[in-house]
Amino acid sequence: MKKLLYILLTIVFLSIAVSCGQQQKESDGEPPKMLEVDLSIIPATGELNKPITFEAKVTQGNEKVNDANAVVFEIWRAKDEKHEKIEIKHAEDGVYRLEKSFQQEGTYYIISHVTARDMHNMPKKEFIVGTPSEPEDPNAKESMDGMNMDDHQDQNNDQSAEGH
């Protein structure tokens, strides 16, 4: 009986030691892969009052990121000071999607602000609704500096922009 107890205790201690060693090896390995965001707009040139689909495909290495802390799409018409900020929920397979219609023609911009796994990535794209308007100065301010996340507009995917 004592032999069996010693054998079981030895197995338990060895299991713990091996487990700790593997965890140490994993944390000493390569640095984490960068957070990648592939922002797409379909169609690239939209029509008035017809939905445009915006997708942020979020990956880290070969892994699809389904657990982002925050994904916010910031959308505005060129030369417009009002930027609409919409928090996006995970759709499937690392994809965060918004479908939105626009009531005013022109050149628009979107930045997808993605925060996940202690990283942030914010790609920006230009798109057209109907007839293009004069684009922005490329040196214009492009971020949500000072944005209070409590003030964002959490909207449904099919809601259209008012005044845009």
Instruction: Please report which confidence band the pLDDT of residue 144 belongs to, taking 50, 70 and 90 as the band edges.
Output: very low
pLDDT per position as a tens digit, 43-81: 989 999 999 999 999 999 999 999 999 999 999 999 999
Full-model pTM: 0.68
Percent residues over pLDDT 90 in the chain: 62
SS3 for the chain, per residue? CHHHHHHHHHHHHHHHHHHHHHHHHHHHCCCCCCEEEEEEEECCEECCCCCEEEEEEEEECCEECCCCCEEEEEEEECCCCCCEEEECCEEECCEEEEEECCCCCEEEEEEEEEEECCEEECCEEEEEECCCCCCCCCCCCCCCCCCCHHHCCCCCCCCCCCCC
Position 148 pLDDT exceeds 50? no
Extract the tokens encoding 35.
């957070």
